[in-house]
Amino acid sequence: MPRAARSAFTPNRLLSIVIGAAFAGPAAFVVWRTLRLGASLPDTLAEVPAPLWRTIQLAVLVSTTAAVLGTGLGWLTTRTNLPMRRVWRIVLVLPLVLPSFVGAAAFIAGLAPGGIIHDALDVVGIDAPRRFRGLGASWLVLSAFTYPYVMLPVMARMVGLRSSLEESGRLLGLSASATFLRITLPQLKPAILGGSLLVFLYTVSEFGAVQLLGYDTLTRVIYATRQTNRALSFASASVVLILALGVVALERSQRGRVTPDERASPLPSRTIILGWRAIPALLACLFVAGIGLFVPLLSLGTWARRGLADGRVSLSDLVDPAISTATVAVTAAVLAVIVVLPVAIGSIRRPHPTSRIASVFVIGGFAIPGLVIALALAVMTLNTPLLDRFYQTMGLLVLAYVIHFGSQALAATETAVGAVPTQLRDSAKLLEPNWFRRTWRVDLPLMRPGLAAAGGLVMLSTLKELPITLLLSPIGFSTLATEVWSSYEEGFYAATGLASLVLVAISALLTWVLVLRNSEAVSS
Amino acid sequence: MASTLDTEPEDPTTGTPPNAGTQTGASIAISDVTVAYDSPDGADTPIDAVRDATLEISAGSIVALLGPSGCGKTSLLRAVAGLERPRTGSITIGGRVVSDSHTWMQPERRNVGMVFQDGALFPHLTVAQNITFGLRGSANKMSKRARTKQVEEMLHLVDLDEFGDRLPGTLSGGQQQRVALARSLAPQPSVLLLDEPFSALDAALRLQLRAEVARIVRRIDVTTIFVTHDQDEAFVLGDQVAVLRDGRIEQVGTPDDLYRRPNTRWVAGFVGEANLIRGRFDSAVDGATPHEHVGEPNNTSGVQPNSLVANTLLGPVPLSTEQGRAHGDVEVLVRPEQVELRPGDCALITDVEYYGHDVRYELQLNDGSILAARATSSELYENGDRVCVRFSGGPTEAWPTAGSAHSCRPLPTDFRIG
């Protein structure tokens, strides 16, 4: 690395500062705005505790459930002789492809007269519950779709865990269950904590599902009061923001002092023989996959089939939304990668405080709920004389996506930058003096897999995104997600079902390409 | 050395480990043990890792299970620990059956300590917490003060006095293995199992640690079984060595037994380098009618009257066995150091490996066959020198010639890794 380049403000560093500021902007604006609307602060603060308490209740319940389910299922599918465990390892991760608002809609539609759950209960002779809403319903739906966030890292950790640790525990006098508690669980702690944190954040920023299920969390308050009582809306947004960042900080400090195990490659683990316990284990897997995957898909499928049969909906209705979804998702993906690239280059090639701060801001974006970003950008543009023409334009919509999902692109982009080591770039410099041709012939081909992964992740998140799209999309612009939303609000379940299935099919395809195909280590 | 503990009164149902409190080894009896694994994913036929193994281990002794990788030695060790349930056969520790067709004692009740290849220290606990880990079990509960004292003693034993508060991740490989040893010894087990505990270390450290472990294990008199694929390690540490091959115990004996009197050609080649030289059984009383050979015709050194003798290219070789007598043609085991070199014109030196204390030569005899020889470095030959060879040493083993063996061929010698 040339010494001459050590001046504090290289172009790349300046760029990193600008990008970091852009990512931190919405959050800063929300807090600043809340403080400036201080006149009504005492009044609004009186209205926050109740929804805050409901949000915390739900988030704690859901993340605890996800931690237990994810750990248990991760253990079952990697360490025991559970029948068909290769299949389960994939099936049990699949609930990830269902956006939670789609899942909520599927349950409500399924319980409505004519829905599959309603009819199935009817056959058994039970009346379907009239109302499916509130804390219990939100807990069930969100848990069923978020536990894979814990299960995936637990599975990865289990595979790398040396069975000699557990065997040592046994030989030192612990029973099998005590060994699990005192040896295995502490080893899994970082994976469980990290996964549960994601679920907690997901629940705190969840908008669509709680809105459909009528559970008044902070996000619902933000949305409902965004025009009528802006002070309350911003105060709630600030509280959500502080809650999210506080939890991230708490998790970082609790991660524990377990150093990653880098000793000799792990010995093959012994499979635990379940015996008769295979039957309850299978039933548990079937139950979880049923709630998280089969029942919602069947429910959506039934309504869609009915609508297609009597001609009230057709796939051609979805061509336009599908095209706009694809367009906006691809644009956001490409832009996100381009935007985080300078930050990634800075933090990989020339680590410096500025690039580190910039990458912290970009990564911090994952903790900021999409609704908060949307609210901030909407109010910022509407109230600023020259910017107001950007409100509800494609540009602003894509910008919001990039800020919200840039964090997902950063890690993969850093991998891509790391794929071109310094020596390689140096030798390329000697062989091909032209910067442009060198980039084209050497850097880009090597970085392509990482960049594609980064873009793919952003794409996947964008197509499932709801609150930003609802608040910021241009009039008349609809994506598959908003199609699901609006048809549900009209009570048109057949259209909800069809749009959901198309959305799920596309995101399942992307998930398969991005996640499952790349985690062959886990599934082998 | 204490006798076995069969006589100690103990209740077989409570699972109280034998001799809790006093640190004395227990005898071990393994009989007809077969360990099998389900073949990974799919096929129904289980794969036998150990077949019909029988082994008696007296209290307080050190036994090495030696064999190439994949021969089943680790599986046998795990069966003793209770980490693997044998399909057939029985295992007895200290006179108590811990495993047979209708008895199964859980590993945590066997009072067995084990050191794994990777140390298996709990990465989330400090060194001291690792060592006290086994002292909290119901089997041998200790007061807090007793535990602290025990940790200090164990740390001192493995020479890591100042390391109690460190986390395993901050220790070197050798230190980790010493902590693992201390942890397994802290609950005062009657049996210590070592599963290739030195294999992850580099050569110099391995030698040092192995000497240290030998010292500790002998001092506390615990019955020890260790697994290794390193013949030197087995010979240096083991009172007895059991050689395993393809899941079967080929031979059990002292290191000297195995080296001088191997049961089979395979064992002969596995423990050290072996030349197998074709010869003809000759029971002539004086052994003085040598056939044609390349050595000095009249020398009969090492051949005593009335002994069994085979006539070979190296002259008459005294035998310790009657095997192959009826057959006539035999293959005689000649260790390289039993080949004596002297100036002459019977063989060509084709390779010289200088080790300092001795020199290994590879020779091509006039009939084209290859022979390995080891000699002290006091008299050096060079590549291309011509020499004469003859046998020099005590009675050795021979086997009936199998098929069309070469007149003389060194067995593949280096099964050792590292």
Query: What is the 8-class DSSP label of residue B95?
Result: T
CA gap A34, A241 in Å, rounded: 12
The answer to whether A171 contacts chain B (CB < 8 Å) is yes
Neighboring chain B residues of A168 at a CB cutoff of 8 Å? 114, 116, 120, 122, 183-184
Whole-structure pTM value: 0.75
Q: How far is A165 from chain B (nearest CA, A)?
A: 5
Q: Average pLDDT of chain B? A: 80
Considering only CB atoms, which chain A residues are within 8 Å of B123? 187, 258-259, 261
Q: Confirm or reject contact between A170 and chain B (CB < 8 A).
A: yes
Cβ–Cβ < 8 Å for B374, B338: no
Of A197-201, A297-301, A377-381, B294-298, give the lowest mean pLDDT range.
B294-298
More confident residue, B28 or A355: B28
pLDDT exceeds cutoff 80 at A463:
yes
Residue B393 pLDDT? 84
Q: How far is B119 from chain A, CA to nearest CA, in Å?
A: 8
Hey, of A166, A172, A192, which one would you mutate to test binding to chain B, going by the most B CBs within 10 A of its CB?
A: A172
Residue appearing with tokens 């023989």 = A273
Q: Is residue B2 a contact partner of residue B199, using CB atoms and an 8 Å limit?
A: no
Q: What would the mean pLDDT of A8-19 be, rounded to a whole number?
A: 76
Please, which pLDDT band fits residue A69 given cuts at 50, 70 and 90?
A: very high
Res. B290: pLDDT tops 90: no
ipTM: 0.71
What does the pLDDT read at residue B57? 93
* Secondary element (H or E) of residue A26: helix A11-36
B16 has a pLDDT exceeding 80 = no
What value does the mean pLDDT take over residues B150-164? 87
Candidates B114, B122, B140; nearest CB to A165: B122
From the CA of B377, how many Å to the nearest CA of chain A? 40
Report residue B64's pLDDT band, with 50, 70 and 90 as the boundaries.
very high
| B18 pLDDT above the threshold of 50 | no
- Residue A259 touches chain B, beta carbons under 8 Å: yes
Distance (Å, whole) CA A434 – CA A437: 6
**B378-392 b/e (C-beta count within 10 Å ≥ 16 → b):** eeebeeeeebbbbbb
Chain B residue with CA closest to A81: the answer is B41
**Between A169, A172, A259, which is nearest B167 by CB?**
A259
- Indicate yes or no: CB of B108 within 8 angstroms of CB of A263: no
Quote the tokens at residue B140. 């041998």
> Residue A82 in 3-state DSSP?
coil
pLDDT at B409 over 80: no
**Contact between B278 and B408 (Cβ < 8 Å):** yes
The alpha carbons of chain A give a radius of gyration, in whole angstroms, of 24
Q: Do A162 and B122 touch (CB under 8 A)?
A: no
Q: Is A9 helix (H, G, I), strand (E, B) or coil?
A: coil
Q: Which residues of B touch A263 (CB under 8 A)?
A: 118-119, 173, 200
Q: How many CB atoms lie within 10 A of CB A184?
A: 20
Residue of chain A nearest B135, judged by CA positions:
A172
Question: Looking at residue B61, what is its pLDDT?
Answer: 92
- pLDDT of A55 strictly over 70: yes
In chain B, which residue's Cα lies nearest the Cα of A273?
B38
Q: Nearest-CA residue of chain B relative to A85?
A: B41
Percent of all residues in chain A with a pLDDT value above 70, rounded to a whole number: 91
Partner residue facing B81 (CB), from A171, A187, A189:
A171
Q: Is the pLDDT of residue A63 over 50?
A: yes
- Within 10 Å of residue A14's Cβ, how many Cβ atoms? 13
Q: For chain A, give every domain's residue range.
A: 313-489
For residue B327, give the amino acid letter: H
CA dihedral of residues A494, A499, A501, A502 (deg, nearest 10): 140
User: Does B1 or B333 have the greater pLDDT score?
Assistant: B333
CB pairs under 8 A between A and B: 82
Rounded Cα–Cα distance for residues B268 and B276 (Å): 9
Element (H, E) at B252: strand B248-253
Q: Which of A107-116, A303-312, B241-250, B409-418 has the lowest mean pLDDT?
A: B409-418
Q: What SS3 state is found at B108? A: helix
CA distance B207 to chain A (A): 20
A167 and B184 in contact by Cβ < 8 A? no
In this structure, of A98-112, A115-129, B367-381, the range with the lowest mean pLDDT score is: A115-129
How confident is residue B411, by pLDDT bands cut at 50, 70 and 90? very low
Tracing tokens 């294999």 back to the chain, one arrives at B199
Q: Is B344 helix (H, G, I), strand (E, B) or coil?
A: strand
Q: Do B120 and A165 touch (CB under 8 A)?
A: yes
Cβ contact (<8 Å) for A170 and B118? no
d(C-alpha A280, C-alpha A263), whole Å: 36
CA dihedral B106, B111, B117, B120 (to 10 degrees): 80
pLDDT band at B204; cut points 50, 70, 90: confident
Q: What's residue A254's pLDDT?
A: 67
Q: Is the pLDDT of residue B403 over 60?
A: no
Provide, as residue numbers in chain B, all residues whose Cβ is less than 8 Å from the Cβ of A164.
116-118, 120
User: Cβ–Cβ of B138/A173 closer than 8 Å?
Assistant: yes
> How large is the C-alpha radius of gyration of chain B?
25
**Mean predicted lDDT score pLDDT of chain A:** 80
DSSP letter for each residue of A256-273: -SPPP--SSPPPPPPPBP
Kindly list the residues of chain B whose beta carbon comes within 8 Å of any beta carbon in chain A: 81-83, 106-108, 110, 112-114, 116-120, 122-124, 133-134, 136-140, 167, 169, 173, 183-184, 187, 200
Overall average pLDDT of the A21-37 stretch:
81
Q: Do A263 and B138 touch (CB under 8 A)?
A: no
Chain B partners within 8 Å of A186 (Cβ): 122, 124
CB spacing of A165 vs B184 below 8 angstroms = no
Architecture of the domain delimited by A313-489 = Orthogonal Bundle (1.10)
Pairwise CA distance, residues B191 & B143, whole Å: 24
A165 contacts on B by Cβ (under 8 Å):
120, 122
User: Which pLDDT belongs to residue A8?
Assistant: 59
Q: Which pLDDT score is estimated for B141?
A: 64
Percent of chain A at pLDDT exceeding 90 = 5
Tokens for A423, please give them.
């020596």
